[in-house]
Amino acid sequence: MLFHLSNWLKSFSVVGNDGGFGTVDNVLFDEDKWTIRYLVVKAGLWFTNERLYISPASIEEIDIKSEMIRLNISRDQAAKAPIIGDEPISRKQEREFSSYYQFSPYWLGGKVWGGVVLARDLLDFDQPVQEVEDNEDEPKIHVANDVIGYELAAQEDTFGKIEDLLFEEESYVIRYFVVDTKKILPGKKVLISTEWISHVDWVSGRVEVTITKEQVEKSPEYLPGQPLTREIEEALFEYYDKEKYW
């Protein structure tokens, strides 16, 4: 299942195993694998900090009907956790955070979450954080909400702006941009896979992709209210003649 980031930011609350945490305020993702690494939670009155940082590894369940994200940690655990903070985030901060929760480091290994595919398995994968301090690159972490409004360009020709992000349940990989193409096709929205990115200019807010403007003009339209089925995804990848991620 794929989730809309905009839905999380509008209405989803976060609940631990002993009470409420607050509401989702933003998410932080890394640019190498386009994967959500932290939820930024606007903390409730129980907490002294205004923001809490939660790893997807702590998510027990996403209850769509109740618009609630259930965690397997307590409020006290979250309150005492090392602060990740805003950009730029250092690997030292991430290492302290992972050590506190006893997570294996997601940045070591060839899979989406280091040695594992799913975030929740970080607790079961035994690779001690303290043994790998000398072999680390600094992370490239970005605020997801800042990407909204970035321009999309195909072969130097802009064709729209990012309106939303779609990410995958359990892996938390950002799979698609929802792009408003009103610059060339008023009223039409399309999906662009993050696997088709060739370059991102984080300063100017521009994403270049390996497709053409003409392809976008004739691409299948995306209807945000319609469930994104595997059949729709298959038709999209076949239209662009791209290798499927699944």
C-beta of residue 178 within 8 angstroms of C-beta of residue 16: no
Same domain, 38 and 131: yes
Share of the chain above pLDDT 70, in %: 95
Contact residues for 8 (Cβ-Cβ < 8 A; gap 6+):
24, 27, 69
Contact 210, 196 (CB under 8 A): yes
pLDDT at 99 over 90: yes
- In a shared domain, residues 137 and 152: no
Predicted confidence band of residue 185 (pLDDT cuts 50, 70, 90): confident
Boundary of a domain, candidates 87, 113, 142: 142
Percentage helix, strand, coil for the chain under 3-state DSSP, each rounded to 5: 25, 35, 40
pLDDT tens figures, 195-243: 999 999 999 999 999 999 999 999 999 999 889 999 999 999 999 999 9
Beta bridge partners of residue 208, listed in sequence order: 153, 199
Tell me: do 24 and 129 sit in the same domain.
Answer: yes
65 with 50, same domain: the answer is yes
Are both 48 and 130 inside the same structural domain?
yes
Domain at 90, CATH number: 2.30.30.240
More confident residue, 132 or 104: 104
SS (H, E, C) 5-22: HHHHHHHCEEEECCEEEE
Inside any domain, residue 191: yes
Q: Is the model's pLDDT at 86 over the cut of 80?
A: no
- Domain end (from 97, 125, 142): 142
Based on the fold, state whether residues 209 and 225 are members of the same structural domain: yes
pLDDT above 90 (res 124): no
Q: What is the pLDDT of residue 127?
A: 63
Q: Which residues 6+ apart lie within 8 Å of 229 measured at CB?
A: none
Stretch among 49-63, 89-103, 158-172, 181-195 having the lowest mean pLDDT: 181-195
Whole-prediction pTM: 0.93
Q: Tell me, yes or no, whether 44 and 128 share the same domain.
A: yes
Short-list 42, 38, 41, CA closest to 58: 38
pLDDT in tens, 7-35: 988 889 999 999 999 999 999 999 999 99
Name the residue range of residue 20's domain: 2-142
- Assign 135 a pLDDT band (cuts: 50, 70, 90): low
- The residue type of 118 is L
Token code pair at residue 100: 């506190």
Same domain, 72 and 156: no
245, part of any domain: no
Share above pLDDT 90 across residues of the chain, in percent, rounded to a whole number:
80
Asked whether residue 126 falls in the same domain as residue 198, the answer is no
Examine residue 23 and state whether it is found in any structural domain, yes or no.
yes
Query: How many structural domains does the chain have?
Result: 2
Angle formed at CA 183 by CA 8 and CA 187, multiple of 5 degrees: 60
Q: How far apart are CA 183 and CA 195, in angstroms?
A: 23
CA distance 14 to 200: 31
